Structure 1
Amino acid sequence: MTDRPKTLSELRESGYRSLPVKQEMRRNLLAKLRRNEPVFPGILGYDETVFPQIYNAILSQHDMLLLGLRGQGKTRMLRMLTALLDEWQPIVEGSEINDDPLHPLSKYSRDLVAEKGDQTPIAWVHREDRYHEKLATPDVTIADLVGEVDLIKHAEGRHLASEDVMHFGLIPRSHRGIFCMNELPDLSPKIQVGLFNVLEERDVQIRGFSVRLPLDLCLVFSANPEDYTNRGRIVTPLKDRIGSVVRTHYPLSRDLSVKITAENAWTEREEESVSVAVPQFMKEIVEEASMLARTSPHVNHASGVSVRMSIANYENMVSNAERRAVVAGEETTVARLSDLAYIAAGARGKMELTMTEEAGEEDRLVMRLVEEATKNVFDAHFKTKQFRNVVEYFETGKTLEVGDSVSTSTYLELIDQIRGFSRQVEDIAAELAPELEKSSYAPALRASIAELILEGLHTNNRLNKKQSTGTSRYGM
């Protein structure tokens, strides 16, 4: 920062030329595309669907709305748009609205430039400070967004007819930057009307002052399709003024969902904690449950099922395995199906039931989804006839109790009682998770696979199960 221009004359001598913010974003996007640099690092599954629409909107210098259900990364992507701004931008020092030193807008900056001329002091703002965001709520006012008369400034002696008495809102303070309005339909209609001029004419008017501020802005919004399309929730002329509306979506495949959850879930626990491994089939079950919820007739599809449900469920599964191992005195363990016994805690609030569902049905629905997800994953890897020996064991009237209170060593002793089962489990472990089978996780992995097989046989109606929280008893 020490070698950057500090006065207006130094800025002119440096050859600096200011660009409108949308041209700046367009230029930087083209540069990133030429270098094959990711514009939205960490956002998966949108390369062929959402990203091209966003790129086109930026190249077209459009204001933009991201339309999608909750948990689809809308806000995260909007905040990442700052990467398309120049890293540093010069402003008139002390300006509330990031005035361009070469073309000042506010009375403060105009007066300062008129007074000091080439010696006008210059400050530099970082790209992250050029992004402002507001969550639309019914109590948002025009004063919050555009501005208001500041009575404190008036009390200090400034005249009400002077521009000096104005307090700028978030939109003018976003001048030469990006302003984001989250959940646009929740904004009251009269405030939506107040955005008309900002979107089309790029000016604002505060309390009738005859002042026009030709703001340089990139306006972006987010909305839920249910609210966006409902008549009366969003003013139609406002829709007409938004250049591009980009639809987002949930992951299109289970494998992609697994990658997204793995990147976002907190699994790197403290060094003194138990080491927990999660085999691929357990990751698939967690994701399959969320995907089934999105198609379930018992779930309100208009609200969606957030990706955060998978992340929370995954984290709780790891935590249950961690707790189970600590109680059992184990240093390493592998997540297994019984660790999903308390999964409802992570799912509550992440999905909404249809109006026909009774209160309290949410937890039961979650467990049914887990059972169906287990069946789908089991059927993808195995056939029930492979485990005829296991079914025969229970046909003799024997039972087997498993759960998060059963240690790994006890588990292996139990499955040793079933003819040939231990050998089957070892072979499957070497095939499904060879990296874990060759490590200290091997015993816990076999216990996890054995539980998957028992539950898979139950979901395919080969075994019966009596269940209480955290414990399952298999039999005929």
Structure 2
Amino acid sequence: MSEQPEIRTLGALRASGHVLRGLRDELRENLLAALADGVDPWAGLHGFQHTVIPQLERALIAGHDVVLLGERGQGKTRLLRTLVSLLDEWSPEIAGSELHEHPFDPITGASRRRVAEEGDDMPVAWRHRSERYVEKLSTPDTSVADVIGDVDPMRVAEGRRLSDPETIHYGLVPRGNRGIVALNELPDLAERIQVALLNVMEERDIQIRGYVIRLPLDVLVVASANPEDYTNRGRIITPLKDRFGAEIRTHYPLDLADELAVIRQEANLTAEVPDAVLEILARFTRELRESPAINQASGVSARFAIAGAETVAAAARRRSALHPADAAVARLVDLETAADVLRGKLEFEPGEEGREAEILEHLLRVATVETVREHFRGLDFGALVEAFDGQRTIVTGDHVTADDFLASLPELTDPDLYDEIAERLSATEPGARAAAIELALEGLFLARRLSKDRDAGATVYG
């Protein structure tokens, strides 16, 4: 953050050559300048580059209010918050102004009087762009007073008449003047509250308890909502939908690389998680989104994979705490235990009661097979299969350390095979090598070349 300007009076602001820009002009010009300079204003957003972001950029250039429609966990809120980066870093306002009015454009009676009385000596304050974004989670108990405003009884008690506009305590939208107002989960707002937004978004009038106050509010209203065929909590009323200039559909990442990028960016990992384990989680999430057993209208949030990665890392950290000599590195056995914890994040179709665990296990196996094929394609595992003579077994589990697991591996007729397996996954440390070999064993089991049994938290390959 740079230092705010030193200008402190209206006269100094005029002398500096400062030019008043409307909010939409500010967003448009800053966006166009960023695009011309090759600067990406949407850092941290993955999978939207060729779909959602071009639509949003066109809407901002056109000066439209925007509503984002999409299932949960598609990054709608994150996208809205990124709009802040398109605002000027510092913006002047009349010091003490309730509605953050620009010194060159006062819109309330009180501010106009101050400009007339104080002239060039009127104090000017500076507002950082982070303060020009306000966000409201729409809830059924939200009132008109919260969003638009209401008569303030304390101001009436001071002796003002009820008809005096200065008796009004302004709500969220007027206080967001010269900024961005974001309404999350817009259909959850009661219809009477949505009606109160109509004039604000079109005519810029505020109606409070019978008073009509014409305030040329300079505000961009953006909103997010789940598709109406999913949410039963409410709807966006038709006149309000018509006020939004752009309705943009979001989506989950279309490419595996974008899915992985979201997990790596958002997950707070307490231990090392190899890329192959994260890839299985990403593929698992994508399989769930295509499964007819899962309610796709509800969606499978990106938070599912993020929480999965954090749970797998936590399992590795727990094992390291129980066995201090073992480095905290996640392995396939940690992934299997995480699936049960994540079940509550999914909504199954009504006919799937009692089969939830079976469905999750099947789809996790599918994701594992795809990952094995991707990384071990063309590798001959014959020597590893031959090492199991009908008597030999290998035991692993969330209580088995990486060193113990590696020490239990049989000698192979191809002594380089273990190194080749590790090399395919760029595994050099013992924990990562153990994770790579566990993945190979699981792949052989899923290919029906090895057997696998679970007993008291242990997994036995043979």
Amino acid corresponding to residue 81 of structure 1 in structure 2:
L
Match of 2:408 in 1: 414
Change (3 A) 1:20 1:317: same
Instruction: Give the Å deviation of 1:111.
Output: 2.6
User: How many Å separate the matches in 1 of 2:119 and 2:142?
Assistant: 39
Amino acid corresponding to residue 382 of structure 1 in structure 2:
F
Change (3 A) 1:304 1:241: same
Instruction: Give the Å deviation of 1:31.
Output: 1.0
TM-score by length of 1: 0.90
List per-residue Cα deviations over 1:321-342 (Å, max 9, x = no partner).
2222332232535421011133
Instruction: Give the Å deviation of 1:6.
Output: 2.0
User: How many Å separate the matches in 2 of 1:256 and 1:324?
Assistant: 30
Match of 1:101 in 2: 103
Match of 2:420 in 1: 427
Match of 2:353 in 1: 358
Match of 2:208 in 1: 206
Is 1:304 the counterpart of 2:299? The answer is yes
Of 167-176 and 399-408, the range deviating more from structure 2: 399-408
List per-residue Cα deviations over 1:450-475 (Å, max 9, x = no partner).
21122112222333322256421223
Q: Over aligned residues, Cα RMSD in angstroms?
A: 2.4
* 3-state SS of 1:225 partner: coil
Of 256-265 and 350-359, the range deviating more from structure 2: 350-359
Match of 1:272 in 2: none
List per-residue Cα deviations over 1:181-219 (Å, max 9, x = no partner).
111111112211221112221221221123211211111
Instruction: Give the Å deviation of 1:249.
Output: 1.4
User: How many Å separate the matches in 2 of 1:401 and 1:49?
Assistant: 47
Match of 1:163 in 2: 165
- Match 1:122 to one of 121, 124, 136: 124
- Match 2:63 to one of 38, 55, 61: 61
* 3-state SS of 2:181 partner: strand
- Match 1:185 to one of 184, 187, 199: 187
Instruction: Give the Å deviation of 1:9.
Output: 2.2
Is 1:400 the counterpart of 2:394? The answer is yes
Change (3 A) 1:227 1:167: farther
User: How many Å separate the matches in 1 of 2:90 and 2:407?
Assistant: 65
Instruction: Kindly report which structure 2 residues correspond to 1:328-339, keeping only aligned pairs within 5 A, or say none.
Output: 328-330=323-325, 332-339=327-334
Amino acid corresponding to residue 418 of structure 2 in structure 1:
V
Whether the aligned pair in 2 keeps the contact of 1:341 and 1:469 (CA below 8 Å) is no
Instruction: Kindly report which structure 2 residues correspond to 1:278-293, keeping only aligned pairs within 5 A, or say none.
Output: 278-293=273-288
User: How many Å separate the matches in 2 of 1:180 and 1:102?
Assistant: 26
Whether the aligned pair in 2 keeps the contact of 1:189 and 1:235 (CA below 8 Å) is yes
Of 236-245 and 151-160, the range deviating more from structure 2: 151-160
Change (3 A) 1:346 1:422: farther
TM-score by length of 2: 0.92
Instruction: Give the Å deviation of 1:229.
Output: 8.8
* 3-state SS of 2:337 partner: coil
Is 1:453 the counterpart of 2:420? The answer is no
User: How many Å separate the matches in 1 of 2:379 and 2:178?
Assistant: 67
User: How many Å separate the matches in 1 of 2:353 and 2:446?
Assistant: 25
List per-residue Cα deviations over 1:418-468 (Å, max 9, x = no partner).
x337631212212331xx42xxx1x33332222112211222233332225
* 3-state SS of 1:218 partner: strand
* 3-state SS of 2:365 partner: helix
Instruction: Give the Å deviation of 1:58.
Output: 0.7
User: How many Å separate the matches in 2 of 1:453 and 1:215?
Assistant: 62
Instruction: Kindly report which structure 2 residues correspond to 1:195-344, keeping only aligned pairs within 5 A, or say none.
Output: 195-227=197-229, 233-267=235-269, 269=270, 276-330=271-325, 332-344=327-339
Amino acid corresponding to residue 438 of structure 2 in structure 1:
E
The alignment of Structure 1 onto Structure 2 pairs a total of residues equal to 460
Change (3 A) 1:230 1:409: closer
Unaligned runs of 5+ in 2: none
Match of 1:374 in 2: 368
Instruction: Kindly report which structure 2 residues correspond to 1:7-18, keeping only aligned pairs within 5 A, or say none.
Output: 7-18=9-20
Change (3 A) 1:320 1:228: closer
Instruction: Give the Å deviation of 1:100.
Output: 1.9
Change (3 A) 1:85 1:27: same
Instruction: Give the Å deviation of 1:371.
Output: 2.0
Whether the aligned pair in 1 keeps the contact of 2:4 and 2:126 (CA below 8 Å) is no
Amino acid corresponding to residue 83 of structure 1 in structure 2:
S
Amino acid corresponding to residue 292 of structure 1 in structure 2:
E
Amino acid corresponding to residue 300 of structure 1 in structure 2:
N
* 3-state SS of 1:356 partner: helix
Instruction: Give the Å deviation of 1:355.
Output: 2.2
